[in-house]
Amino acid sequence: MSIQWTDHWEAKSHQTLPRLIKSYIDKEDFSHAVRDILRLTELLILSSHFTEAHLIASAVFRLVKDFEFTDKGENLDFEIYTPTTLDIFWNVHKSTFPQPRRAPYSDREDRETWITQQQWGKYRECTRTGWMLQHVGLAEPDNPSSIWRETDDPAMLAMCARLLAKTTAPCTYPPDNLAREALEVAQKLYATPDTPREECGWGPEKPKRHSYLLYRRLAVELAIRLGELQTAADILGQGLRQDLFTNGGELSDFLMVPGIYDVLPLLARCGKESNPFFIPKEDAVVMVREITAALELRAEHGRQWALHPSKVGWRELLDRLAEGAWKTHRKKYQSRGIQSAKDILYDPATEEEIAAAEKKVGELPADFKEMVRLANGFVGGWHLFAGGIAGIQNITTEGDGDADIGYEHYEDELGDIDYKMIQLEPGTECDAFDHFIVPPKAWKESKVQAGEEVKEGEYQYWHWAFWSGSGICHWDSVRDFVCSCVEEVEEMIENGEEENWEPDPDAGYLEEADGRAR
């Protein structure tokens, strides 16, 4: 069985090692995979596997060549940055786990001061009393030290703990007597029955989870400051089991708590009984070996694309698209009158039809002609595959004004070249998607003028809908677009995702008489 682990991040609940490695070596844009790998290092730290976390993070910064690493966290869709948690990890363990050379060092004059300020900011976030008034409708009581002993109201207990732990001067903390009392209040709150999640809601009148009223990381930090490390581990474990990484308990927030590295070994003693995200030591060792090997493979040999033309031909690619789309969106297709996976693909185009199309719009891309010889397009959905494409059926260069979006997008590259966009018809009725091809001849000419290398078979395919804004979705060929469709549905299958579908009583069936033979 492949190694897998539990997480609660970006709509993911589980991850597997083969899936993570594939996303890194297989995808053209592997930035998300790198972030997932760095996320895994944080889970390893939470599991008290400091050596393994350091080895993987160091390998990332040593072997990932295509990113400009930054510690500023700007433009996260395009840059990889050093998580603050790793920044703190390396700062705490300077002698044992020094920060990798290629990991960006903070350009701040005093790194220690900056970390201290960040940690106090997280502490202050836990003690906001105005937040309680806004979200719970509860004002500050006059005497929290007496009130908390006389009440069992969760909101009031949370408010009293916040007040007792609160400080106003930056980077200062309450004296031990107030910290201890605040911890006692927190423990009293967490010992009472919690509100079921399904009964919680937004607004002051709705009940709340205990961790929402009082972030558990506050109680964890208070216990650490008082030297009660086992208490801190118990509270942390309770929070992870009951609320996962929610309600102020994000993984990064817990790992930023000062002194947390003295607590994590205690939390790890009971494995998954105390930490549902615990990763066994033997799995961590395998992760280091296999992730490092994947990083080295891509660094030395480039992308290992599973759908590369040398590995997967058009016949297999189209069959996988149809089979994957049918498995993941069967109800949607059935509502359109499609009864099997093979019906998703249109019948092949004849050589006469291809010749007629080229006479009409000019030379067609070689890969596109290979596709239509096997299937003259494929049926998508309202949004699935942007409706699909209808091959050379009704192909034209006399598209409507929506082609202007593409001309504007490619202005810098093709502005001096005289050409016409080739417009393809959507594969089915869809949400106003328009499909276009930039002719290969024009694309090659633009690259030559720019002194750039033209990849074999490269041109531009793109689609756009008026409601999507000014940005177009584009690929270097129709084949690349079809590959992205295959990847989309096969990832859904791998992740166990199901289509979000409800029958539309007004939806008509796709008519056989619409001129598109399947």
Question: How many angstroms separate the CA atoms of 27 and 455, rounded?
Answer: 18
Closest C-alpha among 60, 19, 9, 18 to residue 37: 60
Question: Would you state the pLDDT for residue 506?
Answer: 44
Q: How many helices (H) and strands (E) does the chain have?
A: 23, 8
Report pLDDT for 471: 83
pTM: 0.84
pLDDT at position 12:
66
Using CA atoms, how far residue 502 sits from 184, 331, 332, 380, 505, in Å, is: 50, 9, 8, 17, 9
Report how far residue 231's alpha carbon sits from residue 233's, in angstroms, rounded to the nearest whole number.
Answer: 5
Residues with Cβ within 8 Å of 188's Cβ and at least 6 positions away in sequence, in order, are 148, 157
Kindly give the confidence (pLDDT) of every residue in the chain, 518 residues in length, as a single tens digit, with 9 standing for 90 and above: 689 999 877 656 788 999 999 999 999 889 889 999 999 999 999 999 999 999 999 999 999 876 655 444 444 344 567 889 999 999 999 999 999 988 876 555 688 899 999 999 999 999 999 999 999 999 999 999 999 999 999 999 999 999 999 999 999 999 999 999 999 999 999 999 999 999 998 888 889 999 999 999 999 999 999 999 999 999 999 999 999 999 888 999 999 999 999 999 999 999 999 999 999 999 999 999 999 999 999 999 999 999 999 999 999 999 999 999 999 999 999 999 999 999 999 999 999 999 999 999 999 999 999 999 999 999 999 999 999 999 999 999 987 667 888 888 898 888 889 999 999 999 999 999 999 999 999 999 998 888 888 888 899 999 999 998 768 999 999 999 999 999 999 999 988 887 776 554 444 434 433 433 34
Domain layout of the chain by residue ranges = 4-297, 314-514
The alpha carbon of 335 is separated from its chain's Cα centroid by a whole number of angstroms, namely: 31
What is d(CA 424, CA 478) in angstroms, rounded to the nearest whole number? 11
What are the C-alpha distances in Å from 310 to residues 203, 316, 317, 321, 400? 57, 12, 12, 18, 37
Residue 70, classed as helix, strand or coil, is strand
Tokens of 167: 């400080």
Q: Give the CA radius of gyration of the chain.
A: 29
Nearest alpha-carbon partner for 40 in 81, 74, 5? 5
pLDDT on residue 368: 98
462 touches 409 (CB < 8 A): yes
